[in-house]
Structure 1
Amino acid sequence: MAETPLWFMIATFAVLAVFFVVDLLIIGRRPHVPSTKECVTHIAFFVVMALIFGALVWIVAGAKPAIEFYSGWLTEYSLSIDNLFVFVIIMANFAVPKQLQKFVLSVGIAIALVLRGIFILLGSAIITRFTWVFFIFGAFLLYTAIKLVKGEDDDDEYKENALIRTLRKVIRLSDEFDGERLRTKKNGITYWTPMLVVLLAIGTTDVMFAFDSIPAIFGLTKDPFIVFTSNVFALLGLQQLYFLLGALLDKLVYLPLGLAVVLGFIGVKLIMEALHANTLPFINGGQPIHAVPEIPTWLSLVVIIVSIGTAALASVLKMRKLERKA
């Protein structure tokens, strides 16, 4: 397998930077509610770009990293769709006007990109030096999968975290939005607007999302370049997906189960890889356990496609069945 050439990585980062500037700073800054046609066009464009990018990775670096990218992108994209549930709840909880929701999502996605970049760098450094961390990542993903199956990860209402609750106590907040402004004046007194709290809520929620997504992607590939590009392509077009699926998110009833299968599979895969690179003295004397089978990359991609595809299809069929009854 060939290594990814430096020129290809530089070109990729340059193109992705352009995509993000256009998606978030130009299109995202126009305060409007996107039409269905606009949403579908944007989403289709970025999906096609992800597919083309994976093909280019295959050409310049080989089949394995390309399959790792497709696996990681599908996993991160599925997790992003699931996380849109929380975004919908936050927007409703703070009564964000529809024309301002694109701006909030743009800032939230930008925060997510920065935070995930930091987590990826830290994660890459940690797993390079401490392979036993795979045991922790794997156990956490299995725990998350069990929560999804039991329905404990479903959020019927948004619960403010400690940072937001503290903020409300120490600063003067107004009750109304003032466009995209963070500060406003009423009767000569300066107030912070609810926009500040909404952006902090989205940003701090993204931190929690990273605890699911980063271990999951490292269970599929150890290449920081593939990890980062998988996350970036999953975030591109997310605001259009929010508006397109906003009314349908509560109908994707089987998506958590599909995600549970994917996260559980990756969790087991991580633990098996940890046993292969075992450095813990209390497990087989710190020696690798070669009898544990290795899960091929292509099998990961098959499991992800089948799990998410089956969950989405089952959700659509149930939705149509309920509509016919109604």
Structure 2
Amino acid sequence: MDVSLTMWVVTVLVLCALIAVDFFFGRKPHEVTLREAGTWTIIWIVLAVLFGLWLLVAEGGTPSGEFFAGYVTEKSLSVDNLFVFVLIMTKFAVPAQYQARVLLVGVLIALVLRGIFIAAGAALIASFSWVFYIFGAFLIWTAWKLIKDARSEEEDEEYEENRFLKMVERRFPSTDEYHGTKLWIYENGKRLITPMLIVMLAIGSTDILFALDSIPAIYGLTEDPYIVFTANAFALMGLRQLYFLIGGLLQKLVHLSYGLSIILGFIGVKLILHALHESGVHVPEISTFVSLGVICGVLIVTTITSLMATRKEQQSSDSAKSGA
């Protein structure tokens, strides 16, 4: 797509306006209800679909298909990221009425970081075509690591603070209690940071790790920075509402890691085939619509098998309790 500077500016301004509306409705600390989370989740999905349909009308089927493939991929990876968000919220004992604010700021930090990664990825691709080999190999390695972690019997269910957070906690004195949504307070003439700031930094810094697989993954579906950015933006914008909507369902998606590993491995192979094709090697390339079909198919099958496995495990547990 040939996207003008004006189009980029308009897109960013519209996204900022949507963020402002989201912030306005959630400006007061409160515990998010399922109805509120469901309503906003539907709104964000509808907006993403409308944007994809606009691309279909304005630019044709290929950009629209690339957007939907990228959006579905980023959304599914975001759902997997919610597991870590749950661990972070538990680790820092974030009160329920403040969790929405933490997630909103975390999403804003994520958008800025994704923008930087997307720009860096576009520059690399424009200058070095061989970077597709690196992206492809990294995604295949990530897919293998996901399967290995999923099959491991000793899964770490606690969030471990990264070096950045440990450095912040060492250098800046903090309070033990939350003080509303304040990020710092003054006590005896000394400024202290609150757990609210620390947990926001935890959410934001963790997204750097998430971007390491999500950005190469979407560049495996499209090389257009505009589509990459908008797909990431729409996937992230509804993330905090999705957190409250499917919080209880997350524990039931026991096969999600397997599904994501298949998707990342598939995209990794697609990237390597594309790199070979660009190098002059005659190999088949995987089309965008085939990619979209594979991604949606894997997610549907994974969700069904996860719910079946969870239901079977619950029935076995109930039977054991009845026998006891």
Fold similarity call, TM over 0.5:
yes
Structure 1 equivalent of residue 307 of structure 2: 316
Q: Distance in 2 between matches of 1:51 and 1:316?
A: 26
> What TM-score does the superposition give when structure 2 sets the normalisation length?
0.92
- Tell whether the 8 Å contact from 1:174 to 1:193 is kept in structure 2 after alignment: yes
Counterpart CA distance in 1 for 2:5 and 2:201 is 36
Aligned partner of 1:293 among 279, 284, 303: 284
- Aligned position for 2:185: 184
Distance 1:221 1:302 in 2: 15
TM-score, normalised with respect to structure 1: 0.91
Report deviation, 1:13.
3.5
| Percent of matched pairs sharing the same residue | 50
Deviation at 1:17, TM superposition (A): 2.3
Match of 2:215 in 1: 214
Deviates more, 1:297-306 or 1:169-178: 169-178
Instruction: Could you tell me which runs of 5 or more consecutive residues in structure 1 were left unpaired when the two chains were aligned.
Output: 279-287
Whether the 8 Å CA contact 1:4–1:60 is kept in 2: the answer is no
Which amino acid is the alignment partner of residue 241 of structure 1?
L
Alignment of 1:210-249 (within 5 A): 210-249=211-250
Question: What is the DSSP-based 3-state SS (H/G/I as helix, E as strand, rest coil) of the residue aligned with 1:184?
Answer: strand
Q: How does 1:28-177 map to 2 (within 5 A)?
A: 28-151=26-149, 155-177=156-178
Deviation at 1:180, TM superposition (A): 1.1
Report if aligned partners of 2:135, 2:216 keep a CA contact under 8 Å in 1.
Answer: yes
Contact 1:4/1:61 (8 A) holds in 2: no
CA contact (8 A) 2:32 2:97 kept: no
Q: What is the RMSD computed on CA atoms of the aligned residues?
A: 1.8
Residue 182 of structure 1 contacts residue 196 of structure 1 at CA under 8 Å; is this kept in 2?
yes
- Unpaired runs of 5+ residues, structure 2, are 319-324
Alpha-carbon offset, residue 6 of structure 1: 6.9
The equivalent residue for 2:321 is none
Q: What CA distance in whole angstroms lies between the structure 1 residues aligned with 2:206 and 2:119?
A: 20
User: Following TM superposition, by how much is the alpha carbon of 1:211 offset from its aligned partner in structure 2, in angstroms?
Assistant: 0.4
- Asked if the contact 1:3/1:61 (under 8 Å) is kept, the reply is no
1:302 aligns to 2:293 (yes or no): yes
Query: Which residue in the other structure is 2:278 paired with?
Result: 277
1:283 aligns with: none
How far does residue 224 in structure 1 lie from its aligned partner after superposition?
0.6
**Letter paired with 2:274:** E
Deviations 1:47-69 (A, max 9, x none): 11111111110110010010000
- Cα distance in 1 for partners of 2:167, 2:7 equals 45
Counterparts in 2 of 1:307 and 1:176: CA distance versus 1, 3 Å:
same
Structure 2 CA distance for aligned equivalents of residues 155 and 298 of structure 1: 37
- Measured in 2, the distance between the counterparts of 1:107 and 1:28 equals 12
Q: SS where residue 185 of structure 2 aligns? A: strand
Of residues 219-228 and 153-162 in structure 1, the stretch that sits farther from structure 2 once superposed is 153-162
Aligned residues: 314
- Give the aligned partner of residue 201 of structure 1: 202
Worse overlay, 106-115 or 305-314? 305-314
> Does structure 2 conserve the Cα–Cα contact (< 8 Å) formed by 1:182 and 1:192?
yes
User: CA 1:122 to 1:69, structure 2 compared with 1: closer, same or farther past 3 Å?
Assistant: same
